[in-house]
Amino acid sequence: MKMKWILYLLLIPISIGFFDNNNQNYSKSQEIQANIIKHPERLPTPEAARLGSFGFANMSADMYWLRAVQYIGSNVVESDYKKYLYEMIEIITELNPYFESPYIIGQLLLPSSKDSFDDYSGKNITEDMLEAQALWQKWVKNFCDLNKVDAIINEPDLWKITTQAAYQNPCQSYKIPYYLAYVYYFYLKEPENAASYYKVVAAQSDAPQGAKILAGIMQWRSGEREKSLFMFLSLAQSLATKGETCGLLTSDLERVYYGLWDWSITLNGQLIRDIENARDRLIPKLTEENENEILDDTQCSNYLIKAIRELNLLYIQIADDRYVKDNPTEVSAMNTQALFENWYINFIPTDHQQYENQGIVYRYNDEIGRFDFEMGN
């Protein structure tokens, strides 16, 4: 008993020292993490990060991922996270090439604009797109059977792709070709490549039905508005959490889309008004405090707002086509007010993205020869 008490007494200072040492190491670790978030220019190379993981590469990848999320959140207002986001994701995916979340975030955020209402037109667009391209090439290489992917892209018969075993599940997840197709369509302006990767999506057994339908839509001779509308609805649905109001409204809008397609629903002012009222009930009005969250490229609400915008523009364009047919000497009514005053529309839709003195407006765009959206009064 005496020896036991002596051992206990000896263990007390050892335990205190061990606790104090761990506490200091933890504090130092927290300090290093904060330093990386505030000063990402000090990031190690992927090779150095691997050497510093001491055989625990997956655990190190998780730690870098947490830092990347904090870094994005700390720099979200002006999209400053884009400056070092690729470097962070490159480290994570080198430490753990089969960690999918960083690839997804990279695909959604790297090519996107800080101006949510327009395509990215900053001076670094080429660099951003090259980084995104390098990331998705690594993604496809690590997660897909490249021979199957090539076979699907070269197969024109969509029915064979969706039914024959030789084409099934070319990737570990539908998200890989799905987000890649989105980047091709909206940022690289390459609809043929987008259509090819939507075919790859169609071969995935885990793909949502809406994502599979996109493969067919991209092959149909439908207009760009219809394609964009359904693509945004599909993206919103893929990012919605179960039971979320955004996801419920997205499902309702998908049913409206099918109804418009088979002519069981008429695209008129009352329908546009009803959708706008539902949107304004379910999606909060934009403020300085909530704008970045609502219009974030990883949020269902961002893509739902864009889908409704495309539906509004489709409604306006159909009316403008009738106006031009009745007025062959004119190229367009030019604005929604003229269409309203001349009885071609009976409701002027308002975009959700509105601010105190300006917001998104719908006007005729000479460059593309149709109505489009822009920031204005």
Q: Is 59 helix (H, G, I), strand (E, B) or coil?
A: helix
Least confident of 75-89, 129-143, 193-207, 218-232: 75-89
Q: What is the mean pLDDT of residues 71-85?
A: 66
Q: Which residue has the tokens 């809008």?
A: 253
Query: How far is the C-alpha of 34 from the C-alpha of 234, rounded, in Å?
Result: 37
pLDDT at 83 (0 to 100): 73
Q: What is the mean pLDDT of the chain?
A: 81
Mean pLDDT over 216-229 rounds to 76
User: pLDDT for 298-355, tens place per residue?
Assistant: 899 999 999 999 999 999 999 999 999 999 999 999 999 999 999 999 999 999 999 8
Instruction: Give the number of other Cβ atoms within 10 Å of residue 17's Cβ.
Output: 10
Query: What does residue 372 show for φ and ψ, rounded to 5 degrees?
Result: -150, -175
Q: Which long-range contacts (CB under 8 A, 24 or more apart) does 209-218 make?
A: 210/234, 210/237, 210/254, 211/174, 211/178, 211/238, 212/162, 214/181, 215/158, 215/161, 216/158, 218/191, 218/194
**13: confidence class by pLDDT, cuts 50, 70, 90:** low
Q: Are strands 359-365 and 370-376 parallel, antiparallel or unpaired?
A: antiparallel
- Contact in structure between 365 and 352 (CB atoms under 8 Å): no
Distance CA 24, CA 7 (A): 26
206-218, pLDDT tens digit by residue?
988 788 888 878 8
